[in-house]
Structure 1
Amino acid sequence: MGKPDAEGHGPPDGLPGLPPEWGRVVVPDDASALAAEAAQIRRELRQASRIPGAFRALGLPLVVLLVAVLTTLAGLLAVTWPRTGRGADRPTPAPAAPPATLTGRPLPALDLVDADNAPVPLRGLLPAMIILLDGCPCPDRVTDALAAAPVGVSVVTVTGGRTPPVGPSIDPQARALADPAGGLRSFLGQPARPGTVTAVLVDRTGTVARVLPDLRTVDSYRDDLSALAG
């Protein structure tokens, strides 16, 4: 069947010798004699490449891919999650409302300033309709209030800072003052808002009769204004 290659004879010319620990190696004349050994080797290779081994080899790439996908999804969720007040769809805030306990409370003894920076006690001008113009000059609303104010009721216009608003100088009922300390705004709890005029009606005893967070037409406060003269 074959010729031994290690019987004390040296290897053929040009070929290296085999390690002695391999023992006696026989090279068959017919390659089909090695079919059984080849089948055994193929079985061993298939067993070594089965799925558990493949998963071990692919484990790290799969983990990296999973982390990347989860990170991308988290970023998309953070961007697309609806937020309050985003973009042009921000809801229009409701008009500020005065504290429920403000009506009937006494007006604080506040000193405002006139055009000469001289202090003017606000309680000395009562009864009065006090109009805050730091959110909007709105001269038409001041004119409407002066036209509707009964005799004896002052119309006081107030701004922040130290410069009083320009008031109608020909009307003896009108006073233009400034509130540099912001005491009146703090008392009313009504922050200045662009385009909005806040007003407060105070009777002759110094008690707040009504707060108008957003002064509109005369008809909305005419009766309250007339009541101040009583």
Structure 2
Amino acid sequence: MGKPDAEGHGPADGVPGLPPEWGRVVVPDDASALAAEAAELRRELRRASGLPGGHRGLGLPLVVLLVAVLTTLAGLLAVTWPRANRGADRPTPAPYSPPATLVGRALPALDLVDADDAPVPLRGLLPAMIILLDGCPCPDRVTDALAAAPAGVSVITVTGGRTVPARPTIERQARALADPAGGLRSFLSQPARPGAVTALLVDRAGTVTRVLPDLGTIESYRSDLSALAA
């Protein structure tokens, strides 16, 4: 059967150029459904071609009519067929992929800035857990990291721009820095994501030992953090 359009009308309703006496023309879903009509027209053509002289002239008009009908139906089928599949070919958003592994690579020699806008060489604070807060301030994550970090291991918070947030009001404080040039984000090759806290663990030789794309509970990184003190 033919497929109605979005307004509920048949696919061939109101098609210009078709005689009104033909009535409502229905476009089939499968072009093979026209096989019976095509066979009937061929029989009519054969009968017409076998009539005595004066009636043989009916064959040419029937051929023209057959070509016109098949051309019209084929065009309507091509127009209406994609309607059933609209929306099915929309691209699916790609899921988030964590950054390529940086473990074993050297941390670049970056100079960040402190609250006084003075440059601070990042490699001079190692070993360290570096927490990027440009996607989420998340003070509870910083507090957890400070509680888990062994003596001698720095906990560094990094924000974008030149604004350094206030330090937490606890006995041990994280070293708060800003990264106006975006060097750490460039090193990670991933943008900041709202609600996500990214962390790097770097040993005293400046080698990245672990990347945490979204910092979770202390238990997910406690052993790696303790290993930095060795």
* Partners of 1:130 and 1:155 within 8 A in 2: yes
Does the residue aligned with 1:47 lie in a helix, a strand or coil? helix
CA pair 64-165 structure 1, distance change in 2 beyond 3 A:
farther
Shift of 1:73: 1.6
1:60-99, CA deviations, whole angstroms, 9 ceiling, x for partnerless residues? Answer: 354233212212224544x2434441xxxx67x2551442
Shift of 1:43: 5.6
Does the residue aligned with 2:158 lie in a helix, a strand or coil? strand
Alignment gaps of 5+ in structure 1: 1-41
* Partners of 2:146 and 2:172 within 8 A in 1: no
CA pair 112-205 structure 1, distance change in 2 beyond 3 A:
same
Alignment gaps of 5+ in structure 2: 1-50
* Partners of 1:152 and 1:173 within 8 A in 2: no
Q: Distance in 1 between matches of 2:165 and 2:54?
A: 96
Q: Which residue of 2 aligns with 1:48?
A: 57
Instruction: Tell which deviates more after alignment, 166-175 or 139-148.
Output: 166-175
CA pair 95-57 structure 1, distance change in 2 beyond 3 A:
closer
Counterparts in 2 of 1:17-166, with a 5 A limit? Answer: 46-50=55-59, 52-74=60-82, 76-77=84-85, 79-85=86-92, 93=95, 96-99=98-101, 102-166=102-166
Q: TM-score, normalised by structure 1?
A: 0.69
Q: TM-score, normalised by structure 2?
A: 0.69
Q: Distance in 1 between matches of 2:133 and 2:100?
A: 17
1:29-84, CA deviations, whole angstroms, 9 ceiling, x for partnerless residues? Answer: xxxxxxxxxxxxx966643334x42221453354233212212224544x243444
Identical columns (%)? 63
Shift of 1:183: 0.8
Shift of 1:169: 5.3
Shift of 1:182: 1.1
Q: Distance in 2 between matches of 1:123 and 1:154?
A: 11
CA pair 111-229 structure 1, distance change in 2 beyond 3 A:
same
* Partners of 2:167 and 2:173 within 8 A in 1: no
Q: Which residue of 2 aligns with 1:195?
A: 195
Q: Distance in 1 between matches of 2:194 and 2:130?
A: 18
1:180-218, CA deviations, whole angstroms, 9 ceiling, x for partnerless residues? Answer: 111111112232122211100111221212111111010
Cα RMSD (Å): 2.4
Shift of 1:163: 1.4
Counterparts in 2 of 1:178-193, with a 5 A limit? Answer: 178-193=178-193
Instruction: Tell which deviates more after alignment, 123-132 or 112-121.
Output: 112-121
Does the residue aligned with 2:156 lie in a helix, a strand or coil? strand
Shift of 1:145: 0.2
* Partners of 1:158 and 1:165 within 8 A in 2: no
Bigger Rg, which one: 1
Given the alignment of the two structures, is residue 226 of structure 1 paired with residue 198 of structure 2, yes or no?
A: no
* Partners of 2:153 and 2:228 within 8 A in 1: yes
